Structure 1
Amino acid sequence: MTSLFATTPLKVGIAGLGAIGKSLAGLLDKGVPGLRLYAVAVRDASKYAEFIDGLSVRPVTTDFEGLARDCDIVIECAPAELVSAIATPALKAGRKVVVLSSGALLSQMHLLDLAKECGGQILVPTGALIGLDAVTAAAEGTIHSVTMTTRKPVKGLLGAPYLARHNISIEDISEPMKVFSGSAREAALGFPANLNVAVALSLAGIGPDRTRLDIWADPALKRNTHTIVVDADSASFSMTIENIPSENPKTGRITALSVLTLLKKICSPLRVGS
């Protein structure tokens, strides 16, 4: 009888070696059953030569087309504006594409059509949020409302386009300051490097226009904090998570671990959670 799970490790390719890309590469390099870090794609390979050479098994350095050609799974760990360039060739090749910059999907919905047409798949990891399983389950019934309150250290929000566009200065605040209130779609546009978690929540539940979000800058905080409240016909629940930032203050350390968990589920004979 042929096993459902491949005996040959799946080749994993990482696009981008920022804080999350490096962390994920290191985790995969330690050895994960059924998975192999095969390739990385970066703009300037020489910039990351020391890191790449320091891995126990040196991955191939290539471009986005090379990832699509040679890897079974392509992981986007790059700026949001590169999502289409990374995902398009991979989906055309029928690959699985893990998208961390999920906010970019709201303006790139043609990628879903491409995945359907070519047999590829877009995977959005849980990332910095707990409880997405509960939200997706509730969405099988009727969800009445989803609200999310995000509180971040000041440095985690600096440079956001929404702040610049509305002349909101947070550098010298001494007390918590609400800087945004609106939909997840609006937040994704205004805070493209900060609020992918809100987009993941909206895609799991009632969509980016009905998912409501408040964002606070808090100079006293050391961790990114998200509180979600869901009211549905099947359950009402709330959840709060405090994420420890990675070396990139806009992203939590748990993000890379979430991606690793997703990858393990792809090739594991036991999957816990939907």
Structure 2
Amino acid sequence: MRERAMAVRMMTVGVAGLGAAGGAVAARLLAGAEGLRLGAVSVRDEARARAALPGFEGPFLAPDALHAVCDVVVECLPPALFRTVAEPTLKAGRIFMPLSVGQLLAHWDLVALAEAHGGRIVAPTGALLGFDAVRAVAEGEVRSVTMVTRKPPAGLAGAPWLVRNAIDIDNLAAPLRVYQGSVREGALGFPANLNVAAALSLAGVGPDRTLLEVWADPTVDRNTHSISVEADSARFSMTIENVPSPGNPRTGRITALSVIAALRSLVSPLRVGS
């Protein structure tokens, strides 16, 4: 039986970007989540946002201004705008919750910035599973961490790695491995697709030692991630098949739910998991 913990404080949340994930997070907060309140959002099209969030009376602000009225800012922006919201949020000593986790690898100085100003970076689990186990074995000796991602070709279309290497994934008749290497290089080549791999690497042995395969697979209709870990304390493997969001095949429906769960853990007196 699932116990429902009572929140002990109210936390105001800002959402930067109302795409597939951000829109779902904002709508869920607006509908009511104990201990959490939607304080502000940042969008390019305010009229469209008001139509998508009927009843929302809070302000629509620039990404670099959300921290002024919010305790935590959830980043759901295109990768190019990552630092626009991250830096001011952390300088203000707020909690920064990125969905573009892969961008942390290219902006690692933000960790020191958070420490200097009393801010905090909280990366939600997102579309993956098993983070508790990965973090636990990382306290000992980890021999290998491998992740294999399979996505419908539409979910990978336009990725910089594919464009740069002239890899054609249109009209595939069979699965095609389009990348094999480290998470660090893979996250740069697929900035809109592999935030889960970046998060996995940060939970475990880092982006250079975490190995990654990416497949464009016309035989699947879900974003599938398989993890294999070999450590001195345990050996395990896990697979998750995520239903893509209707408006964006690159994002799984579970991503927004993971953000809500992460936000709840910030206000609940009971937290289950390491």
Q: What is the alpha-carbon distance in structure 1 between the residues aligned to residue 65 and residue 128 of structure 2?
A: 31
The answer for the alignment partner of 1:220 in structure 2 is: 219
Residue in 1 that maps onto 2:258: 258
**TM-score when scaled to structure 1?**
0.95
Q: Are residue 133 (structure 1) and residue 132 (structure 2) matched?
A: yes
1:5-16 pair list within 5 angstroms: 6-7=8-9, 9-16=10-17
CA contact (8 A) 2:17 2:42 kept: yes
Provide the C-alpha distance between the structure 2 equivalents of 1:68 and 1:167, rounded to a whole number of angstroms: 41
Residue 80 of structure 1 corresponds to which residue in structure 2? Answer: 79
Identity of aligned residues (%): 55
Contact between 2:8 and 2:268, CA under 8 Å: does it hold in 1? no
Which secondary structure does the structure 2 equivalent of 1:38 belong to?
strand
Q: Tell me the residue number matched to 1:27.
A: 28
Amino acid at match of 1:263: L
Could you report, residue by residue, the CA deviation over 1:67-112 in whole angstroms, capped at 9, with x for unpaired residues?
Answer: 1111000000001111111011111110000011011011101110
Deviation for aligned residue 1:48:
2.1
Aligned pair count reads 267
What residue is the counterpart of 1:205 in the other structure?
Answer: 204
Corresponding position of 2:65: 66
Kindly state the Cα deviation for residue 45 of structure 1 after the two structures are TM-superposed: 1.6
Aligned partner of 1:24: which letter?
V
Residue 225 of structure 1 aligns to a residue whose secondary structure is: strand
How many angstroms apart in 2 are the aligned matches of 1:65 and 1:189? Answer: 24
Q: Distance in 2 between matches of 1:57 and 1:199?
A: 33
Distance in 1 (CA, whole Å) between partners of 2:44 and 2:121 is 23
CA RMSD of aligned residues (A): 1.1
- Which segment drifts farther, 65-74 or 43-52? 43-52
Match of 1:116 in 2: 115
**How far has the Cα of 1:6 moved from its partner?**
4.7
Query: Any unmatched runs of 5+ in structure 2?
Result: 1-6
The 2-side partners of 1:111 and 1:157 are apart by 28
Shift of 1:49: 2.8
What do the CA deviations read for 1:5-31 (whole angstroms, capped 9, x no partner)?
754x21100000101011001111121
Q: How is 1:56-205 mapped onto 2 (pairs within 5 angstroms)?
A: 56-205=55-204
Structure 1 portions without partners, runs of 5+: none
Letter in 2 for 1:196: N
C-alpha distance in structure 1 between counterparts of 2:49 and 2:37, whole Å: 19
User: 3-state SS of the aligned residue for 2:248?
Assistant: coil
Partner of 1:37: 38
Q: CA deviation at 1:66?
A: 2.3
Which residue of the partner structure matches residue 249 of structure 1? 249
